[in-house]
Amino acid sequence: MEIALIIGNFAVFLTIVLGLIRMMRGPTVVDRILAFDMVAISLIALVVLLSLRWSTALYLELMLIISLLGFVGTVALVFYLQRTYNAEKEKERQEEAQS
């Protein structure tokens, strides 16, 4: 069981590192949002694995807080992108109407 937890921790840590790299280098904003969501989910998995390793349920609140922050962060980013996209479309419409 201990070896499986170590392998799981390594895999989740690798996922977090790759997600952070994608967040920094992502060619589009959508890639960065998806990478942020992946990092948040990976952090939850890391807390679950640590909770299993230490045989305690004290970290359930931490998992809930991380998942809530990840969800709210993703929704906020999508809302911001939608507003920006709508503003750009409106600007294009006004420019076409003036032409």
Domain 2-98 belongs to what architecture? Answer: Orthogonal Bundle (1.10)
Task: Indicate whether 14 pLDDT > 90.
Answer: yes
* Backbone phi, psi, residue 61, to 5°: -65, -40
In this predicted model, what pLDDT tens digit does every residue of 40-59 receive, in sequence order? 999 999 999 989 888 888 88
In this predicted model, what pLDDT tens digit does every residue of 53-86 receive, in sequence order? 888 888 888 888 989 998 998 888 888 888 888 8
Task: Indicate whether 12 pLDDT > 90.
Answer: yes
What's residue 8's pLDDT?
94
Distances from the Cα of 46 to the Cα of 24, 71, 92, angstroms: 21, 17, 45
The answer to whether the predicted template modeling score (pTM) of the entire model surpasses 0.95 is no
